[in-house]
A and B are shown apart, each in its own frame.
Chain A
């Protein structure tokens, strides 16, 4: 145990002192913990730690292998970047929530059994919800409640699945689900677990919580949220469900679903959130294909994605921080006042679009190539089309309408220095991974046999991307943002909840009122009347009879008592009278 420091503990216990620290000491402390965590992950020897028995089940607090290390590495790096981005915050609440959130995500990544996993899974949901609540205002609060409801529902599905699966498999240890598609279908428990995982991965139709909530979170909170929840879900899918055919198709649909919605979006961060759906689609499809190359692709794409998506959210967040506006219809012309933000944002945009020498190029293409090697031409073409859409939105539409386009004469300046530094760190990593993919490839779970920089691959990518740009230039007017919102599957629970409230307020309440009216106007008076009648009957009838009988017995008793004189002669006289009477009766009757 001595050579293993659980990084989840570093963050969760490390969150405790934050409210008590102030000023520079707090800032140094906030940076120190993620740095320690990065070193803890780098120094971590593979193995199993913290095996124990709990309510008769074997649990394993931490299982360290190549897959968990690569996710933990990028999680801790992103935690450092996110913390630097949030350093200017004076209140402790968001720092504490972010630390617990990161710690819980790391807890999931190392969880060796389902119970540990579930515990940290719920921790993530609650800690991240705080980052939305912290924004304040009715809109954010409502979105945060919806977020909690959805995730708690997903958590219940997961817990149910864990119990059913655990009972069937006889073990709660977390690993590839036995009885996968290869050997005759998964059980109900496995499907419930899969549903819980898919919800966190934002797979349609379970995706709407993401695009509903992320734009409402705080500027700094959204950066953390964009990195952890969905990628933790990709990790658990890669751990438990590699090679599940369903995931290939769900992932492919996701990749296109996100870009279609991104065309319609007006809110800058919601547009980016739809691109999380799209990009996670590549990872889900990669996990579904399940070959070594595909899982490597999914893992490395998650790694790159966390960094460039963090960078994009930081860029959009910087604009919101400075201007207070988030809708593309209200933004424009900021390139003059925020050139550094523009440049840093564009690094993220090139990375997500998979331009050569940016991180997406060396990771996304691995998933697409894996689909090709697996003879899935349709998947390959669909994913390539989604790449075009990605550049169209995050690389062209969003920056054009946010930073260039119509100059709306907004008062703006570069964001605080800590924000720029954090964006610079992420941008440097996006470029470093793109130029030198070797170290990232060395981290991946399987040996990498993939060369991204071939002539054909470079010209093909550039062709796709730059001719997408040509389409953008030609049809620019068609892309003008419109002041609308888009309906997504959250319609069902937002309108559904309203329908439920209507049912409760209108028909159910009316029925309840009718019932109480009947009881008040008819039943209650009847009951009162009959009670009164009963009382009268009781007092006058029953009591009269009882009292009368008692009274007559009393009088009879008194009369009898007076007969008892106690004088012997009286008794003798009575006996003689009795004997005479008997003789008379006998004589009369007998004759």
Chain B
């Protein structure tokens, strides 16, 4: 079970996340949207990522969901008042809209969180490249992922260095704001200067040479990866027809 799930083609998993997003937008019922969550948890358990999946949701989605829900509950205009307290009024419409909105955010958000738990970004980019994304684009995305942590480290080093020179990073907001510039300016200028060297290195390795490039990193598509996307499309079309008529 674990392997057959994890071994699905990255795009098949991506389409599944899009499929969930499409269905919760088409079906206006919040019970349906909430029902996706236990399904996703089951998939996470089957794929062996339940723990990191749930802790991610706890960190990113839960606070937002509570705020969004309370906001709709108290401020959504509605006629049918269920309860009122001080300046706040809870209406049935507000309750409904709050549940609809939170159920959608939960379903779509957790679908994509799960997607990135079970797919390596490297594989996802490779599958996009196979689907026709320019190889320069794939290079840009992957090198971005490498450069971000590197630049974060550099910015910490620069910040420490500037502190040693006497740049204040504590105190009033003006003092702290002033420290922003000496931290970031040298970092930006030096990283931009390094792109010229990188361009020379890449050209030396025939980066912009025309022709097909071979890759050491290969992904395989199995029959199920051809069938599943069609199943999603058929269900989505079915739901749209059901909704319209």
Q: Are A and B associated in one complex?
A: no
**Chain A residues in contact with chain B, CB under 8 A?**
none
